[in-house]
Structures are given as structure tokens and as C-alpha cells.
Structure 1
């Protein structure tokens, strides 16, 4: 039963964004208890997740749940309980292979589109890798956004199964297959809140890996001052939680800590990141070597974890598959199986930003750089974003290009340019 709320003097209901109150949801009592410091147990997690999936939580209640679990407010036991509840309410895939591999990056680093390289390398070697990826939450592009500039990603379960059985792997949008539907609801609310939580992150990542039928997972944690994970201590704590939750579900989790001090590749934005991937796969001269090397390291770890290469020999196998074109042919085959390969779009409007003075580039603010790409229109405008011209330690002269903004409209370009001109800490240049 709904009952109309009483108006507050001087404010309309529309101004308050509250039209009706609904009957309290029983599981909200566990959320309120969590706000005051009481852990969420297994039964409470099951009830909360079921109510979230059934649409019983209002946006305000979802925000309260996410806030209550943000930061370091969830312990490992709570994370396991939440992961189990999230798996229970979704669909779960089973594969003929006893060994199913996957990889994931916790994010926070512009560019870094290694999945589109790792999946075809690994699949070309004969392993099964059913990769489901998210759209952007707080970044200028998620893996699904970038892949969508190359092929359809909104696959239903029968299509996903067909692609994987045919090609050994896929790169699909997780939101279309309902493997962890509670996570899709929470992500929608997390996006505007911009809150980070190890507990929610681990439950999100591993619930989807478990639901996808993965048995062995490599997880990349970039560490840097302006990355999502900012210190070695925080990275080790996250790695411990991933290991512990993975063990609770009999998943072999292998964590890699990587450099998060600067973007990976040159493009930031869906199509621009796709062009980087194509350059690496096609072994083009001038392809971003940092993206290539990071993808090879991750692919090597997956191949060794999946027992396709002996310890220490994964890199040689991964490199040979990339160098001889097998990975490129495999990505084309995956794209065709997912609905047909596309050419990524190009932006109609660009503007070059240059260094104001000479010196050495000593720091890049990943968060502000990502914000700049978003203001240019990414990821909503697939061709929008930026191309980085100067990596760390570049010796710059006055007027040397730092980046090129890409936008699909002059208004978005002007908006991003105004932001860039108001910032003096995106690039830190130490005068010579």
C-alpha cells in the first residue's frame, strides 16, 4: 500500500524528488544495522540481494546499501556471503571443459584495454575463455564499450554459448546475460555515487566469474597514486580478499600487481582504445608497446594457469601467437560469430593541447585525464575521448603536443577544452 507523503512548507514534492513512500522492505533492517556497524550475515545477504533483483529497493535504499558497504566496511566473511547471494539469484553457465579461464582488471587506469588482446591470444591457444565485461562505471570506456565499436556485445546466453563453443572465447556485455543481475543494479547506482569498496568490487568480479563457469582467473591490479588502487598495501589487501573469496568457491585466483602510474596505450575512449588494440593485433609499426607488453604478460599468466604453457614459458607462447597473426585472426572470428565485425568510428572534431613550457613530464593524473575524456563525450559518444602523445619521462619542449581531444560535436569539444584549460595538474612538467 502506498501513502502520499506530506508536503514540506516551501518545497514541492517534485523539488524533493519524493512522490510516495512504500512499505518498508524487511531486508532493509539488515542494511540499517550495517550502517551502525553490524556485519551482514549469510541469510541477510540472500534476502538483500533477492529484494534488489526483484526491484523492491528504491534508489535511495540502494544508495544506502552501497554507502553502508563502501570503503573498508565489509570483511571477508561478508564478501563471501554477498558473492554467494549474487551467484544464487542469477543464471550459471556450465561448459564441457573442466578448465575454464578468465581475466579481469580492477580498473582505474585510462586505456588499458588488454582484454581484447588476451582473449584472442588465449582462445587461439585452445583454452576456453568466456569473457563477460562491464560498461563504463566511472571511466571513459569499459571493455564492453570498446568491444562494441568492433562487434555486437549484447549477446543472450544461447548466442554466447554458441560463440564460445565455436571460437573458444567471447567478449560480451555481462549486463545482457544476467549472470549476476544484482550487480547490474548496484553498478547503475554506484556510477553516480562514485564510491569504491573492496567488498563490493570483489563480490562483483567473482560472482560474475563463478556464474560464467570460470575455474581459473587472472586478476590485474594496477597500483598508482591516481589509480583506483593507490598503494602497495591497499593492493595486497585487495589481493588477499580476492584469494580468500576465490578459495571459498574453489576458484584458482592469480593476482598480478602492475604499474598504475599512467595510462596504457594512447587512446582513451571506446573507439580510440579499439584502434590501439587493432594496431597491436595487426603488428603495425608504431603500435603502443606498453599495451602490447601488458597484454602479453597477462596472457602468459593465463596460459600458464590454464596449463597450456609450463611455468616460465607462457610469454614465448603468447608472443608467438600475437606475432604470427593467429590472435588477430581469432579476434576477427570472434567478432564475426558475435554478429559481424565493424570499423570503429572516428570523431569529427579534434583539438591538440600542447606543453606550456619545456621540461620533463614527471606525473600524469589518471583521474583528471579520464575526466577530460568523459567531458569530451566518452563513452556515450563512442568516437570521443583523447589520444595521449607524451608518456611519463618525455622531455618536452614548449608547444610540443601532449594530447589530442576527440569529440563528436563542437559543443562537447569546447566543454572539454574549457576544463583542460582550467586544470594545471593533469600533467606535471618539471622544468629543465
Structure 2
């Protein structure tokens, strides 16, 4: 029996327990670092990975009679500090045997994926075990395995239902800096009257996700009941899905995919479609940008990915429409949450200097979504989307959605540490390396510092003189600023012809 203590250490999605090396259990039971234990008090219990803390030095995190839990683990257990709790050794999850089979290159069945995902959703896997599963799955998965993984991810959490015959959604597979069309599409579609309850993830490998950018403008961590109220009132929302237990294993996997930079097509399809099915969508538009530095770089890759989305989507009962778009360059000017939010609102307001490419793509995407409505003539969706944007109806609906979701957690301004990156020669911008631009923006602090990012001044086809700025780096912290500027000096991501 140990007394519970909250340890102010953020361990992301992993449950971590801290025990003193002077604890009787450590000495008598042979408790070692990275062992797994079950912590329980009354009917509340969680699994956690142990970290053993030195008892000397005058700054011990926990006393010998205490059990410390990291921030998220403490919240999940849901008991007050000082509560007496029991701990027991916990063996490895049974589903790890299936992970070992996947490491060997075997094909897994639906029951094996269901066991793996159930254990992941219950936080029974350590980050090392999660990484082992992700790397093994990245090596090889059949289409049937992708479907089995997707179904397991849907079943592991909540599943929403809506009182509407059509519930639309869209998703871009990412990789293109500044491609924040969702935040323009949702208010257009909602103003038309189609329900679009948009749940989004935070960035995995990009400088900003839709949830990261929307959080500059409004609150995104809504509960299920709050989300329902917003959708019933406004026909749309832009919220973070991680707060709603929709495909909860996906958020845990993303927390490991992000630092590893893993984003395979198979895992991408399972992640996207599990969230959409769990959110109650019936009709889904998938945007696949294609370009030399995008995630998808050839027609062959795009075709393979489209077929995988269609195969899994059909099996889940989703109506899937896939569009391949131009992914050769960034969209808009701002890269990073606050700068992207600025561009989105400029388009919705109809500002004269709003990014034309962002506006054009958002209208194309919104038009395709609107054509899920049987009352919109084939090919007439984009004209209807333009009408809703130019009339101000989309802006009014966005402002109503923002008000319904509540104010942003904090006011954010672009980072005050700035540097303009100059052109190395006279000429014309022939190409922009999207992956390099994404990397520099992340080094500047995106998405965790919402004011960090890049402000682009030149796009492909623009003439430029040597020494003129190509873009401006914004950072909030000196270390991030130094990393980003050094990376831009090494290779700025622009090809000048």
C-alpha cells in the first residue's frame, strides 16, 4: 500500500509511475525500471510503466511510501492525492505475441488486430512496444489487414450517430504546407445546410494540423455533448477529435508516429477512415495532393492510395470521393498555426490580398463536398460554393461556429524572432520543396508554438532578384530560431531558374 502523489511530468499518452529506490517494494519485490504495474484504489485501476527515482540528493520526486503518477496517468486513475493505492506486477499484454508475428512478416487476422488495438486503447503498451508495432506494420500490410486494423480502431472507442441522412466530411492526406482548405470548406458547406461535424487531429509530421490552426481562433477541445450542440445549431464544427474517444488508439499511435516520422499509406488510411467512421460520417471527400516533394509523388502512388481508401471505405459503408490535386508547392502564404489562421480569415472576409491559390483550392474542395447533396447539379458545386463565399454567408457561419465553440485559449501573435531568407540569385522561382519548407517551419517551433512558422513572399513563377526575401521565419524561442535559420541557410527549399 502506497500513498498516491501527482508528479508534474508530461509523459504524453503513456502512463508512467514513479517509485523511490528506497521503497520497500523496490527492495523486496525486485521492482525495476520499465517494469509494468497495475495501480488500483477501490474500483479505479490503470496500468503503468515504472520509473525508479533516486532517494538521495534532497530533491526526490517521491518519498519511499509514495507512488507518483505522471500528469495523464494521475488524471486517468481519477483519485485524489494521498489516497492509499495498491500496486501489483503486470505481465506484458497478451497481444504482444501478435506483434512479434508481425515483426516476423506474418499476415495478421481481424481478431489479432482487435486484441492489439484493445490493449493499446487501454494503455497497456509502453512507447517501445508501440514503436515496435508501428515499425512492423510499416514494413508490410495487406489490404485485408488495413481493413481489419481500421475496424478494430473504430470499435475501440465511441461511435457517433446523427439524425441526418447525409453527414459529410473531407480530409487531406497532408504534406503540403499551408493547405488549410478545411477551415474554409466547413463554413461554406454548413452555410449551404449540409451537416459537417469536422473532427481533426493535431499535426503529425506537418507544421500545423487543422485543430492546431483552429485553436488560434476558437476552443477546439469540446466534449461530445458540446460538439453535438454546436452542430445542431450551426450545421458544422471544427474540433479536436482527441477529446472525444473517437478511435482512441489512433491518438496514442500518433503520439509515437510523430517523433518517429512514420506515416505510411496503410496506417494513414486506417487512421483517417477509423476517425471518420467513428464520427458518424456517411460521405467523405479525400484530397490527395501529388507533387515531387509531397507525400504522394506519382500517379501510380495516387492510384494505389485511392483504391485503398475505396476498398476500406466501401467495407465500412462510407461513400468515398477521391480527388488528386496539385501538390507541387505550398498553398497560401502562412505556414504555421497563427499565420495559416490569418490566411483563412482573409479568404473568408474576401480581402483583396487574400491568397488566391488557397481561395481557389478551397472552392474546388467545397464544391466537390456540396455535390454529395442530391439537390446540387453535377458540376454545380463550385459555383454554389463561390456564391456562399462571396455573399458573406460562409464568413457569418464561421463566426457563428467560433462563437459556439468558445474563445481560443489565448491570443496568439506571430513569433517576435524573425529573419528574412534572401534569394541566392536573380531569376524565376521554378520550384519549392514542400518537405524542406515543412521541416524548417517545424524547426522554428511549429506546431507547439502557435506563433512560429514561415511567411512566404514568393511562389513558383514569380520573378526574384538576388537578395530579395523569399520568406520570413517566425520563432518564439531562441533555440528554435537558431535551428530554423541554420537550416534555411543550408538549404532554403527554393529552386531559382
Query: Which of 443, 447, 451 lines up with 1:379 in the alignment?
Result: 447
> 1:414 Cα deviation (Å)?
2.9
> 1:170 Cα deviation (Å)?
0.4
CA contact (8 A) 1:216 1:306 kept: no
Q: How does 1:222-241 map to 2 (within 5 A)?
A: 222-241=289-308
- 1:111 corresponds to which residue? 178
- 1:90 corresponds to which residue? 157
> 1:410 Cα deviation (Å)?
4.1
CA contact (8 A) 1:222 1:229 kept: yes
Q: Matched residues in 2 for 1:248 and 1:351: separation? A: 50
Aligned-partner SS, 2:163: coil
Q: Which runs of 5+ in 1 are unaligned?
A: 8-12, 15-20
- 1:161 corresponds to which residue? 228
Number of aligned residues: 419
> 1:300 Cα deviation (Å)?
0.5
Aligned-partner SS, 1:44: helix
For structure 1, which segment, 23-32 or 385-394, has the greater mean C-alpha deviation from structure 2 after superposition?
23-32
1:127 aligned onto 2:194:
yes
Query: Which of 392, 400, 416 lines up with 2:460 in the alignment?
Result: 392
* CA deviation profile, 1:70-124 (whole Å, cap 9, x unmatched): 15x1111111111111111110111110110000000111100001000000000
Aligned-partner SS, 1:70: helix
* CA deviation profile, 1:221-254 (whole Å, cap 9, x unmatched): 0111111112111111010000010100110010
1:361 aligned onto 2:429:
yes
Aligned-partner SS, 1:402: strand
- 2:240 corresponds to which residue? 173
- 2:496 corresponds to which residue? 429
| Structure with the larger strand share | 2
1:55 aligned onto 2:105:
no
Q: Matched residues in 1 for 2:129 and 2:30: separation? A: 18
1:350 aligned onto 2:413:
no
Which is greater in Rg?
A: 2
- 2:113 corresponds to which residue? 45
Q: Matched residues in 1 for 2:452 and 2:32: separation? A: 43
Q: Matched residues in 1 for 2:313 and 2:462: separation? A: 40
- The alignment yields a C-alpha RMSD, in angstroms, of 2.1
> 1:296 Cα deviation (Å)?
0.6
- 2:147 corresponds to which residue? 80
Aligned-partner SS, 1:387: strand
Q: Matched residues in 2 for 1:344 and 1:284: separation? A: 21
Change beyond 3 A, Cα 1:314–1:411? same
- 2:365 corresponds to which residue? 298
Aligned-partner SS, 2:322: strand
Greater RCO, 1 or 2 (C-alpha within 8 Å, sep 6+): 1
